[in-house]
Structure 1
Amino acid sequence: MSVDAEAARLESGAEGPDEPGWEVDPDDDWALAVVTTVGRQLKLRREASGMRAADFAVAAGYGEDLVYKIESGKRIPRPEYLDRADEVLGAGGLLAAMKEDVKKVRYPKKVRDLAQMEARAVEIGVYVCHSISGLLQTAEHAKAAFESRQPSYSRQEVERMVAARVARQAIFEKEPAPALGFVLEEGPLRRPLGGRMVWRAQLEHLLAVSELRNVTLQVMPTHCEVHPGLDGKIELLKFEDGTAVGRAEGAFNGRPTSEPRQLRILELRYGTIRAQALPPRESLAFIEQLLGET
């Protein structure tokens, strides 16, 4: 299943028709503007047809409260909601066409920003300390990770974040393919997050991704006493025009940086981490060994 199909499955299958859709981040001005405009168009089309909100809710198969929230810009409508509204109101495809606008804001702003940078990058290097990189997670593994957070996320929040994480993995289908390098700690690879079947599927997915010619996967063994990544995650993204962006937990307030001196520091740390980790072939053999132990 493609990442787009998996994201669509996650988006469409977890909520009943009467449950609220995704909430709009009040600090995301662009998303607020888009969702408000879409809601206004839905309301105008409904009123032009002479249909009350209660009648539309019954005809479309959604709760009246959800209809009001979407039309007032307080909820992000799902694609199937727009399809159904188009059909019930006889909009001739005009309402369904707004799915493209909604698609751009269905994920949180910080995820959209990260996905946009990853989509432009020609080279990405990632070291993750306490988990498996989101770009490498299966949907089931990501779901288990989000559900483990405290305080707990709502079911709708978990669904939305999992779909966003899966959608980012479209980078593996990009042409021309960027160079992708990952260094993962041994500890998270041994943790059966989500249960044994989810754990096994995650290890199999890592082996499958590692077969891609543009992907380098390395494991940092726990017997390595010290290395420059103990403070947390490091990310380096390089672009076609020669610019770059980096971020590291525990450095520069954890904020993205494009300042040359700071980038050199991050590149030195990441390079040292890669040098201390197991080589790619030994890393894959290690993951295969773990898989055999499951």
Structure 2
Amino acid sequence: MAEETERRAETPAEVNGAVGVFVLLGKQLKLLRERAGLSQREFGNLVGYGPDQISAMERGVRTPRPEFLEKADEILNAGGLLKAVIPEVEEAMSRARTRHPEWYRSHAAMEGEALELHHYSNNAVHGLLQTEAHARAVFAKRRPFLDEETVEKRVADRLYRQQVFQRSPRPVVSYILEEMVLDRPIGGARVHGEQLRHLLSVGTMQNVEIQVMPTRLEEHPNLGSAFNLLVPKGHGQVAYLEAQGFPQLITDREEVRKIADRYGIMRAMALSPKESRSLIAQKLEEL
């Protein structure tokens, strides 16, 4: 049922007819970048974004933030062309109800405004950490098969969620990844290599800590499913779980406390952020 609901859901740009704004803006951005003789990676380094994010904006599937447009306008010598569309972009964003299906909207809204985000992943790279190519490979292999349009919508939504890292004030974010998550080459060696490099990049952000739970450990307090812990703005901590497409939002204080307690013990047992970066770098070299 959740899959069918998500299949029918529209992104906010589609709901409000704003998709044209972002597609046209993306084309202008690409033209200006190429005219400046910059690759997506080179341009991204200048504005503080990765090449996947620049690619997504140029294709109109990621919303460019006003501060990005101001900086890009100066770097690309656009003469105010990009700055001029900021009001339209802000209006389109304000009209957007959500980029997510009904069953996910409550969690998506909390995630976008949360003061703290903590995640445990036992069989997949968390969505907020996925590269565009990795996300596309994940959705392309989903069963039952998704049509190409639906895959692109889901990839766009996943990239859109990642704007949480750039918002202000920045949330406190932590991850515990099972080591086996780092070993599955989803999408092939090239895509997997990019994903590992992305983990190393995100892990250097001041507000983000990524820890790896080594497989050599005999056990730890949570040998069940993956989970998320959030501290929404103006509310107490909540937990979010999803199994086989069935979401569960937990708000009961005692149940949330138990999950948070397990997470705290796991953070103490996992490799430190520095040790985790070293392990990820080692796996990247071995590809």
| TM bin (shorter chain) | 0.5 to 0.7
**1:142 counterpart residue number:** 135
**1:171 counterpart residue number:** 164
* TM-score computed with the length of structure 1 as normaliser: 0.65
**1:131 counterpart residue number:** 124
* TM-score computed with the length of structure 2 as normaliser: 0.67
**1:270 matches 2:263:** yes
Deviation at 1:115, TM superposition (A): 2.6
Aligned-pair Cα RMSD in Å: 3.0
Contact 2:107–2:240 under 8 Å retained in 1: no
**1:79 matches 2:15:** no
Q: 1:160 corresponds to which letter in structure 2? A: K
Q: 1:80 corresponds to which letter in structure 2? A: G
Contact 1:221–1:277 under 8 Å retained in 2: yes
Partners of 1:126 and 1:112 in 2: CA distance: 18
Deviation at 1:275, TM superposition (A): 1.7
Alignment of 1:112-131 (within 5 A): 112-131=105-124
Secondary structure of residue in 1 paired with 2:144: coil
**1:243 counterpart residue number:** 236
- For the pair shown, the structure with the greater C-alpha radius of gyration is 1
Shift of the 209–82 alpha-carbon distance from structure 1 to 2, 3 Å rule, reads closer
Contact 1:111–1:164 under 8 Å retained in 2: no
Contact 2:239–2:249 under 8 Å retained in 1: yes
Deviation at 1:80, TM superposition (A): 2.1
* Deviation readout 1:33-69 (Å, 9 max, x if unpaired): x95xx6xxxxxxxxxxxxxxxxxxxxxxxxxxxxxxx
**2:182 counterpart residue number:** 189
Partners of 2:23 and 2:201 in 1: CA distance: 36
Deviation at 1:100, TM superposition (A): 4.8
Partners of 2:124 and 2:257 in 1: CA distance: 25
Q: 2:258 corresponds to which letter in structure 1? A: I
User: May I ask how many residue pairs the two structures share in their alignment?
Assistant: 215
Partners of 1:82 and 1:197 in 2: CA distance: 29
**Structure 1 spans left out of the alignment, 5+ residues:** 1-21, 39-76, 85-95
Deviation at 1:284, TM superposition (A): 0.6
Partners of 1:166 and 1:128 in 2: CA distance: 18
Shift of the 83–256 alpha-carbon distance from structure 1 to 2, 3 Å rule, reads closer
Q: 2:20 corresponds to which letter in structure 1? A: E
Deviation at 1:113, TM superposition (A): 3.0
**Structure 2 spans left out of the alignment, 5+ residues:** 1-5, 25-87
In terms of mean alpha carbon deviation, does 275-284 or 101-110 score higher?
Answer: 101-110
Deviation at 1:24, TM superposition (A): 3.6
Deviation at 1:254, TM superposition (A): 5.7
* Deviation readout 1:105-138 (Å, 9 max, x if unpaired): 4432344433311122111110011100101000
